Structure 1
Amino acid sequence: MSPIKCSSVLEAIGHTPLIELGRVGRDLPARIWAKAEFMNPGGSMKDRIALKMIEDAEQAGKLKPGDTVLEETSGNTGIGLAMVCAIKGYPFIAVMSEGNSPERRQILKALGAKVELVPQAEGGKPGQVTGDDLALVEKRAGELQQELGAFWVNQFHNPSNCAGHYETTAQEIWEQMEGRIDYFVDVVGTSGTFTGIATALKEKDPKIQCWVVEPASAPVLAGKPVTNPKHVLQGSSYAKIPALWKPEVCDGYITVTDGEAIRTSRRLASEEGLLVGYTAGGNVAAALRMAGWCDPGANIVTILCDSGMKYLSTDLFK
């Protein structure tokens, strides 16, 4: 259990509830369970990896007192890092695309971060950050790292990203489900969450099936054509294979449309009282479809990635 008293907000990271979605999943033969990662203090699952990546860098001597921390982010990892850096006293610079929701940059600034906004690629649309947009963000982050000599967290290539979920999120899910898990289903962005959790769960029980959720228009991990890299699943599915991806822990692929993700997010709010973002809606939409065809009584676990409070300026709840 999470401690009642914390010496800092960092001790409040993790130990999130696992909630059965008995209303949106009613009348389906399987049961759906959602890990409420939006209940981390920074509002997303990325708080876990922010703390892990910073503490591992400190222990390895890569990050020293007074150093500036730099990261490319869609917002959530940056928010987690801003929170961790505020406690530990590191100046923090978040490099992010103008296409990400404005609430994220507002939260970053409130936490004391400097935000470097990068214009979207030609034809870019707010709320739909593509791999091309991400490449521009990565390029700018590299330039700033050279200019400032900052410590670049580099979540897309940092093994501590996977380790954070392997060591915490997966262990919590296993304990909360008492090992009774049939399917784990989740989107892939950096692949830290999916790779970390799937690796740990399969070590405990190789029979657990781990499925990836991808946008219907960009199922690149499934080896299918990318017809449109623009989608609403912010922070995930950049139409490229991430460096941390481990295909050997993936048993299958399932796609969702933007409409399915949006409708499911709205259902989660109005029927389950869970105000979450687009990507959480995509995860649950995939789990709902899976619950319709898997064995009766099967347990499906997925992730509620972040809070819907970060999307109030978008069309998600309008």
Structure 2
Amino acid sequence: MANTEHQQYGPTDIKGSVLDLIGNTPLLALDRIWPGPGRILAKCEFLNPAGSIKDRSAYSMLKYAKEEGRLKPGAPIIEVTSGNQGCGIAFVGAVMGHPVTLTMSAGNSPQRAEMMVGFGARCDRVPQVEGKPGNVTLADVDAATAAAQKIIDSTPDIFYVNQFNNPNNCRAHEEATGPEIYRQTGGRIDAYVATLGTAGSFVGTSRYLKRQNPAIKCVVVEPAGAEVIAGKEVTKPLHLLQGSGYGKVPELFDYEVMDEAMNVTDEEAVEYKKLLGSKEGLYLGYTSGANVAAAVKLLKSGKLPPDAWVVTLLNDTGLKYSELHK
């Protein structure tokens, strides 16, 4: 046996669990897609443990539910998901010691269901009502919600996360994502641009940024034809931005922190998804493409100073999607 009595060791950096890997994602300059004038800075949320920004809200919602006594030790958890939030809840629940059930429309990508099951969760894929694979509508989400409600009604002590109505969803981004962005830019940020599903990341991040500097322009990105935040009639419920643009203003949305709403077409989202791969070496999802497309449109619009810095989100990895567009 080696004699370690007088051996000197250096400092260590060991994480206690995968939960310690959530957040503090890098801010990346997309100078190859947009060489200027101005700059697009993108938060690399695909580097979270389950591959999306929803890992932040999953941990926040479960952590505070446990602290507040609403989530009992070892109690089952259920949530309705389009995929990313479900993946986050599945791995956070696993580490916290809770069995997890997710209900998800069959129109959402099967890769997400596979990931949830890999974390030990149960994933019930609910038949679509009016959508098709890759295109999920509000009616499809309602069907998944109804399936979850049946389980809730028959399962004592089950905790329903309820991401669309849970204020701790926004809290995750007000406490972490917003402060990280402000710190990483040194406070130099002219605009924040993001798609929204539950509205948690947009509202929470915008609230923090607006408190630091009310002049920061916070812009919602909506799928063209499903622009309810902008007050327009839904003409295209079947769009490619899974987890976004459900044709209903989310309960968590706060118009007070929004300066403008922009739209992005499916074609623009696909174009910038491909450009993220071919120019920046990033294989990401469709809402990431939409975010970058919107950031480019905003910089081209003349609404910002020529040297403006625009921050957006790279929401999730492209590995969670079926490749519908080769």
Sort the TM-score into its range (normalised by shorter chain). over 0.9
Q: How far apart are the structure 2 equivalents of 1:304 and 1:236?
A: 14
- Which of the numbers 83, 90, 105 marks the counterpart of 1:97? 105
Aligned to 1:296: 306
Q: Give the ranges of 4+ consecutive aligned residues of structure 1 lying more than 6 Å apart after TM superposition.
A: none
Aligned to 2:80: 72
1:314 positional shift: 2.4
1:136 counterpart = 2:169: no
1:4 positional shift: 3.7
1:5 positional shift: 1.7
Q: How far apart are the structure 1 equivalents of 2:208 and 2:137?
A: 30
- Which of the numbers 7, 21, 27 marks the counterpart of 1:12? 21
Task: Describe the SS at the equivalent of 2:173.
Answer: helix
Deviates more, 1:135-144 or 1:92-101: 135-144
- Which of the numbers 225, 249, 261 marks the counterpart of 1:253? 261
Q: How far apart are the structure 2 equivalents of 1:82 and 1:173?
A: 27
Q: How far apart are the structure 2 equivalents of 1:268 and 1:66?
A: 41
Q: How far apart are the structure 2 equivalents of 1:71 and 1:136?
A: 13
- Which of the numbers 154, 157, 174 marks the counterpart of 2:182? 174
In terms of Rg, which structure is larger? 2
What is the 5 A alignment of 1:205-284?
Answer: 205-284=213-292
Task: Describe the SS at the equivalent of 1:165.
Answer: helix
1:127/1:4 Cα in 2 relative to 1: closer, same or farther (>3 Å)?
farther
Task: Describe the SS at the equivalent of 1:95.
Answer: strand
The gaps in structure 1 that reach 5 residues or longer are none
1:24 counterpart = 2:33: yes
Task: Describe the SS at the equivalent of 1:35.
Answer: strand
Q: How far apart are the structure 2 equivalents of 1:111 and 1:309?
A: 16
**TM-score calculated relative to the size of structure 2:** 0.94
What is the 5 A alignment of 1:190-209?
Answer: 190-209=198-217
For the 8 Å contact 1:18–1:176, the answer to whether it is kept is yes
CA deviations 1:35-77 (Å, max 9, x no partner) are 0000001100011111111110001111111210000001111
Give me the CA root mean square deviation.
Answer: 1.0
For the 8 Å contact 1:58–1:64, the answer to whether it is kept is yes
Q: How far apart are the structure 1 equivalents of 2:150 and 2:211?
A: 40
Aligned residues: 312
1:315 counterpart = 2:324: yes
* Identity fraction in percent: 48
**TM-score calculated relative to the size of structure 1:** 0.96
- Which of the numbers 109, 114, 133 marks the counterpart of 2:122? 114
Task: Describe the SS at the equivalent of 1:238.
Answer: coil
Q: How far apart are the structure 2 equivalents of 1:4 and 1:110?
A: 27
Q: How far apart are the structure 1 equivalents of 2:232 and 2:176?
A: 32
Q: How far apart are the structure 1 equivalents of 2:43 and 2:74?
A: 36
Aligned to 1:161: 169
For the 8 Å contact 1:127–1:314, the answer to whether it is kept is no
Task: Describe the SS at the equivalent of 2:179.
Answer: helix
Q: How far apart are the structure 2 equivalents of 1:71 and 1:238?
A: 17
